[in-house]
Structure 1
Amino acid sequence: MEHHLTVARTARYQQLGELSAQTRRVWFVCHGYGQLAAYFIRHFAFLVEADPTTVIIAPEGLSRFYLSGNGGRVGASWMTRDDRLHEIDDHVNFLNQLAAVVLPQCPPDVQVTVLGFSQGTATVSRWLTHARFRPAHLVLWAGSFPDDIDATVAQSLLHALRLTIVIGSDDEYITLTQAEQQFQYLEQFAALTHLVTFPGKHELNRAILEKLAVSEQ
């Protein structure tokens, strides 16, 4: 018979920029499957260089593994289908604890952007339905909002929330048609939804990140 035991463990996250009373913007950015926060966060370094009042926080999935065989490069995952609900709970708790450490170091009116990439889109979406703050902007990049989130819960989160869906024109995992369907699905919750495309694959794009950052100023 299977049982579960809640234990304390150490979670890891990366940070660019210094949290202070001068911090105006905080981005929480969640990586995709098989990535590590230390490498993922590098894509956002130019935002801090351009604006020292911006801080980037990149949490890392609690499950790490070798990407090939029994050694070599290591990646992290937010969850798998095995014991999925407990993994979701663990990550929601982790991210809530992280926000509770980060946000009190900022002014009360700090603007929070939450970005999920690939597998990270489901993670940030589920997190925000249980978060103790409301972001100014949610970015779902090369992924989707989970359709198993209760409609009432989704409505509470997404109503009047600025929401940007980003997709590369040649994404190997998600088609533009699927992204457009996601756009239409989320519109029903009265989110302020925008669909942004760029020439590229399943990847981040600096030019789009720059536009997102400028639009928040």
Structure 2
Amino acid sequence: MERHLAVTRSARYYQLGELSAATKRVWFVCHGYGQLAAYFSRHFAFLAEADPATVVIAPEGLSRFYLSGNSGRVGASWMTRDDRLHEIADHVGFLNQLADQVLDECLADVRITVLGFSQGTATVGRWLAQAHFRPAHLILWAGGFPEDLTPTQASNLLHGLPLTIVVGTNDEFIPAAQVTEQQQRLQALGSSPQLIRFEGKHELNRAVLEELAAQGHI
């Protein structure tokens, strides 16, 4: 008989910039499948370097594994199909605890941007449906909004929430038809997503990140 036991474990995250009452913007950025937060967070370093009032928080999936064989490079995952509901619950709990700790060091009017990349898009969607705060901007980059949220959960989250979809024109995992389908589904849930396409593959893009960061300063 399968059973489960809740245990305490160490979760890893990376922080760029210093949190204080002077912090005006916090970005929570969640990596994709097989990535590590240490490397993923480097794409956002310029945000904190250019603006001392901006802090970037990059949590890491709780499951790590060797990317090839039983040695070499290591990656992390947010979940797999095996025991997925418990993995989702563990990550939502981790992200809520992390956000509570981070936001306790900021003023109540801090602007929060949440970005999910690839597998991280579903993770941030499930998290925000149960989060203790409401972001100012949600960015789904090279991935989809989770389909396992109830219509009520999805609509409550998306109603009035600025949402941006970002996809490379040559993304090898996301065909154009899927992008259109995603837009239509989000619109049916009451969202009016902004779509940004860039010349590139399944990857982040510095110019687009700069554009999105500039929107947060308006």
> Would you call these one fold, judging by a TM-score over 0.5?
yes
Tell me how far apart the structure 2 counterparts of residues 180 and 166 of structure 1 sit (CA, whole Å): 12
Q: Residue 120 of structure 2 aligns with which residue?
A: 120
Tell me how far apart the structure 2 counterparts of residues 205 and 26 of structure 1 sit (CA, whole Å): 19
Q: Secondary structure at the match of 2:186?
A: helix
Deviation per residue, 1:67-94 (Å, 9 max, x gap): 1111111000000000000000000000
Tell me how far apart the structure 1 counterparts of residues 27 and 137 of structure 2 sit (CA, whole Å): 9
Query: After superposition, where does 1:136-151 map in structure 2 within 5 Å?
Result: 136-151=136-151
Report if aligned partners of 1:180, 1:195 keep a CA contact under 8 Å in 2.
Answer: no
Report if aligned partners of 1:167, 1:176 keep a CA contact under 8 Å in 2.
Answer: no
Matched, 1:190 2:187: no
Q: CA deviation at 1:193?
A: 1.1
Q: What amino acid sits opposite 1:157 in the alignment?
A: L
Matched, 1:23 2:23: yes
Q: What amino acid sits opposite 2:66 in the alignment?
A: Y
Q: CA deviation at 1:192?
A: 3.5
Q: Residue 86 of structure 2 aligns with which residue?
A: 86
Q: What amino acid sits opposite 2:199 in the alignment?
A: P
Q: Secondary structure at the match of 1:56?
A: strand
Q: CA deviation at 1:191?
A: 2.1
Q: What amino acid sits opposite 2:41 in the alignment?
A: I
Q: Residue 3 of structure 1 aligns with which residue?
A: 3
Q: Residue 34 of structure 1 aligns with which residue?
A: 34
RMSD across aligned positions (CA) = 0.7
List structure 1 runs of 4+ shifted beyond 4 angstroms.
Answer: none
Q: CA deviation at 1:148?
A: 1.7
Q: What amino acid sits opposite 2:60 in the alignment?
A: E
Q: CA deviation at 1:190?
A: 2.3
Q: Which moved more, 1:18-27 or 1:169-178?
A: 169-178
Q: Secondary structure at the match of 2:104?
A: helix
Q: What amino acid sits opposite 1:211 in the alignment?
A: E
Q: Which runs of 5+ in 2 are unaligned?
A: none
Q: What amino acid sits opposite 1:87 in the alignment?
A: E
Query: After superposition, where does 1:26-65 map in structure 2 within 5 Å?
Result: 26-65=26-65
Tell me how far apart the structure 2 counterparts of residues 20 and 100 of structure 1 sit (CA, whole Å): 14
Q: Residue 157 of structure 2 aligns with which residue?
A: 157
Query: TM-score scaled to structure 2, two decimals?
Result: 0.98
Q: Which moved more, 1:204-213 or 1:179-188?
A: 179-188
Q: Residue 209 of structure 1 aligns with which residue?
A: 209
Overall identity of the aligned pairs, in %: 70
Q: Secondary structure at the match of 1:79?
A: coil
Deviation per residue, 1:113-136 (Å, 9 max, x gap): 000000000000000000010000
Tell me how far apart the structure 1 counterparts of residues 171 and 37 of structure 2 sit (CA, whole Å): 21
